[in-house]
Amino acid sequence: MVNWLLIYEIFYVLVVTLVCIRIIWDTSANAKALAYMLFVIFVPILGIFVYFSFGVNYRKRKLYRKKIISDNILAEKIRTDLYKEAKRAFKEGGKMMEENKELAVMLMNDNKSPLTINNDVKLLVNGENKFPEVLNAIKEAKHHIHMEYYIYEDDEIGKKVEEALIEKAKEGVIVRFIYDDFGSHSIRKHLVPRLKKGGVQTSPFYKVHFWAFANRINYRNHRKIIVVDGVIGFVGGINVSDRYINAKSSHKKLFWRDTHLRIQGSGVHYLQYLFLNDWNFCAGDCLTGDEAYFPKLKTLPVYGNKIVQIAASGPDSETPSVLYSMVEVIYQASKEILITTPYFVPGESILDAILIAALGGVSVKLLVPDKADSKFVNAAARSYYAELLAAGVEIYLYKKGFIHAKTLAADQKISIVGTANIDYRSFDLNFEVNAIVYDHQIAKELSDVFYDDLKHAKKIDAKAWNNRPVITQFFERTARLMSPLL
């Protein structure tokens, strides 16, 4: 008599073995590979389903090979002038660039992102300060407006921006809009058709057809970029949504803390380069680096004295430049590091950098939400707090509302404001972009904002934290095992 149960068991073991081999071959990050293997082995059938739905990288290899080739062609067309300016930035940057030469050179070599000088940079705190600047920049546009957003909603501010874009399109200004098909799925049926009817060119990034089964939920475009006439740019954590605007008359709405930058000058050119890469990829276009999109540096006025460099990475990158730049800033700091992030699920490299800095006497302060929007992610994040506290890191839980800002300020010299959280998803799976500003004034402003946020936060007491219920700590440690997959 045939023992079908034994045959099924042997077949399943064979399948699991083959899946584990696939994970080892296909996943370069050891922690991530181990997490998927444990999940596949200890969660029968469901583990295999989850891996093939969210973990397989074949889409990444297949879909982005053409994008990488296109990106390189565009890069060569704009790199010469920008690298000339980088040389001038090193020469004129004085002590600031001498002290941060390793960071700047690393980004130039790794990210092909040159230093840019003579920029004006404005720190924008929360949506109520960002959107008036955005609407004014759109109003003043003469040639083109390029927008790229992870989340865009068809609400009050979404409609205001929509109306402004359509008005400029009717005036003859070229308007292009990229929206992430997952993050901005709610605008596909109504707002996008209205934009198209009004003359705005639109394209979804990485279209999702079957939500329940598509691993396209990975590799999302998490960037928030606006470029106007190749001279004015916006980048940071604030999406286009009413939730980011804190109306004084509203007492029931959750307070939303976020940070953005307005950049004017040649620092915008790399944001433009990123947008054109993404547009060519998702719209099937072949826009090039002509002067209309990249104004000649010698024709640009001196807008300010800020030195700006852009760090960007994603599934199409050879290396995680966003991660590398953060790690380098932390290692270079000698006095103070102020980090704000809504999601803190670090990999070994950035965790080690923070621990080494704290143990070396650098004052490290970490500001995170008191309650994240995912209990499991929140638990995974809290599993790291004990070792950070033991090393001397001060951790603060933001109580006023939800803190969504992604910022880092070091020694009141270097500022990072962008779209990347400190987690595996930002460093490995999503398209992200951070702006790095080498300037004492901006770093001082960002530090002041950080300390103002601490007025609405509670500092974690190390002793009390370690004395929490064992079952709570065990759940957090269990969640941490899955952190590479979050």
Helix (H, G, I), strand (E, B) or coil at 409: strand
Specify the pairing of strand 363-369 against strand 432-438.
unpaired
The H helix count followed by the E strand count for the chain is: 18, 19
- Which run of H or E residues covers position 259? strand 259-264
Provide the CA 405 distance to its chain's centre, in angstroms.
Answer: 10
In single-letter form, the type of residue at position 166 comes to I
The active-site residue, picked from 112, 130, 146, 224, is: 224
CA gap 143, 173 in Å, rounded: 5
Q: Return the structure tokens found at 357.
A: 């800095």
The active-site residue, picked from 406, 413, 428, 439, is: 406
The active-site residue, picked from 180, 411, 439, 453, is: 411
Q: What pLDDT was estimated at residue 114?
A: 82
Q: Return the structure tokens found at 74.
A: 């565009």
The active-site residue, picked from 222, 260, 269, 413, is: 222
Closest CA to 263 of 216, 304, 293: 304
Closest CA to 454 of 366, 344, 330: 366
The answer to whether the Cα torsion of 425, 428, 432, 438 is positive or negative is positive
CA gap 175, 457 in Å, rounded: 41
Q: DSSP string spanning 272-318? A: HHHHHHHHHHHH-------TTTS--GGGS----SEEEEEEEE-TT-S
CA Rg value for the chain: 23
Residues 165 and 147 sit within 8 Å (Cβ to Cβ): yes
Q: Is 406 a catalytic residue?
A: yes
CA gap 73, 55 in Å, rounded: 30
Closest CA to 146 of 154, 137, 157: 137
Residues 51 and 40 sit within 8 Å (Cβ to Cβ): yes
Residues 19 and 29 sit within 8 Å (Cβ to Cβ): no
CA gap 219, 457 in Å, rounded: 33
Q: Is 458 a catalytic residue?
A: no
Q: What pLDDT was estimated at residue 213?
A: 47
Burial profile 217-233: b = 16 or more Cβ within 10 angstroms, e = fewer: ebbbbbbbbbbbbbbbb
The active-site residue, picked from 32, 130, 269, 404, is: 404
Q: Is 146 a catalytic residue?
A: no
Q: Return the structure tokens found at 237.
A: 């954590």
| Residue 186 DSSP symbol | G
- Which run of H or E residues covers position 256? strand 255-257
The active-site residue, picked from 181, 229, 278, 428, is: 229
Residues 211 and 123 sit within 8 Å (Cβ to Cβ): no
Rounded to two decimals, what is the model's pTM?
Answer: 0.87
Residues 239 and 224 sit within 8 Å (Cβ to Cβ): yes
Q: Return the structure tokens found at 418.
A: 């962008």
Spell out the per-residue pLDDT of the chain, length 486, in tens. 556 666 777 777 787 788 777 777 666 666 667 777 777 777 777 777 666 665 555 444 444 544 544 556 666 666 666 677 777 878 787 888 888 889 998 998 887 788 899 999 999 999 999 999 999 999 999 999 999 999 999 999 999 999 999 999 999 999 999 999 988 989 999 999 999 999 999 999 877 765 544 444 667 899 999 999 999 999 999 999 999 999 755 555 789 999 999 999 999 999 998 999 899 888 888 887 788 898 887 788 889 999 999 999 888 777 889 999 999 999 999 999 999 999 999 988 999 999 999 999 999 999 999 987 778 788 888 999 999 999 999 999 999 999 999 999 999 999 999 999 999 888 888 899 999 999 999 999 999 999 999 999 999 999 999 999 989 888 888 877 766 555
CA gap 268, 231 in Å, rounded: 6
CA gap 437, 115 in Å, rounded: 10
Q: What pLDDT was estimated at residue 210?
A: 57
CA gap 246, 127 in Å, rounded: 7
Q: Is 209 a catalytic residue?
A: no
CA gap 171, 84 in Å, rounded: 36
